[in-house]
Structure formats: structure tokens, C-alpha cells
Amino acid sequence: MKITRQKHAKKNMGFYKHNFQFREPFQVLVDGTFCHAALRNKIQIREQLPGYLGGATQLCTTRYLYSRYV
């Protein structure tokens, strides 16, 4: 199953690189829920995403505004 998943990921990234001119470093937007799930499952996001996407990545997060009235 692991090889099949890698083949699908490589095929999909090739599609996006060719049709939408995606280039390295890939900017990946991660939210708090994703980070929390990765932490809970002991997954190293920074080390594993470049291998999965097939290139250098840059992790980006959203800025969370605590106050609703600002």
C-alpha cells in the first residue's frame, strides 16, 4: 500500500507542476488542527513533507487573531 500511495502522490505533483507551474519550494499551509494531529501521532511534519511532495517545502501558518472585536 505504501508504494501505491507514493505513486499517486508523484503523479499528482507532476500534474500540478506541469499544468499550474508549481515550483520548489512548495509553500504548504498548515493549520492548528493538522499540527495537533501530527503531534498526537508523533509525525515530524518538517522532515516528512519534502519526501512526500518530492521537493523542498516551506511551511506556512495562518495568523490567529484572538480578539473578535479588533
Q: What is the pLDDT of residue 63?
A: 74
For domain 2-61, the CATH architecture is 3-Layer(aba) Sandwich (3.40)
Instruction: Please say whether the dihedral angle defined by the alpha carbons of residues 49, 52, 58 and 59, taken in this order, is positive or negative.
Output: negative
Q: What percent of the chain has pLDDT over 90?
A: 63
Q: Could you give the CA distance from residue 66 to residue 54 in angstroms, rounded to a whole number?
A: 35
* pLDDT greater than 60 at residue 70: no
Q: What is the pLDDT of residue 57?
A: 95
